[in-house]
Amino acid sequence: MSQQKNNLPFWEKKSLSELSKDEWESLCDCCGRCCLRKVEYEDTGDVYYTDIACKYLDEKSCKCREYQRSDPLVSDCLRLSPEDAKGFFWLPKTCAYRLVAEGRKLEKWHVLLSFDPESVHRAGISVRNRVVMEESVSEDEVEDHIIDWVS
């Protein structure tokens, strides 16, 4: 049994809190959806995604251009950590952090399985070429940008 566990990839044999910093970072599938503006309705707690991207999102790579900063430039930016796993409900259902936290398998297009960083984009999961930048949307228009990302 122990031999079988040793043959598993790190994300299946370790808990999120046991991952090294590099392992944790490698789980990110670079879809960019966590960098989208969300609308949460306080009366229901429902969270909806928009197609409005944070001004620091690099739309081509779907990564934050300022990720390495220790202090977030955006006041409501959340840096994900293993300690927050119980609250990952707001992440997309395809997000590797959420999948691992819920004990589910990574999607076949994830770079750790496909070995191809472009696979997330080809699968239509990423926000590449599908967003508007936040500077172009007024606060009154945010709800008009709620969309269903399908997966």
Residues with Cβ < 8 Å from 86, sequence gap 6 or more? Answer: 101
CB 38 within 8 A of CB 134: no
Q: Label residue 18 exposed, middle or buried (CB < 10 Å: 0-12, 13-18, 19+).
A: exposed
- pLDDT of 68: 78
Q: Mind listing the pLDDT tens digit of every residue in the chain (151 residues)? A: 455 567 899 999 999 999 999 999 999 999 999 999 999 888 998 889 999 999 999 999 999 998 877 566 777 777 788 888 888 888 999 999 999 999 999 999 999 999 999 999 999 999 999 999 999 999 999 999 999 876 5
Q: What share of the chain is helix, strand, coil (3-state, %, to 5)?
A: 35, 15, 50
In contact, 105 and 53? CB cutoff 8 Å:
no
Do residues 30 and 61 make contact, with C-beta atoms less than 8 angstroms apart? Answer: yes
Are the C-beta atoms of residues 128 and 121 closer than 8 Å to each other? yes
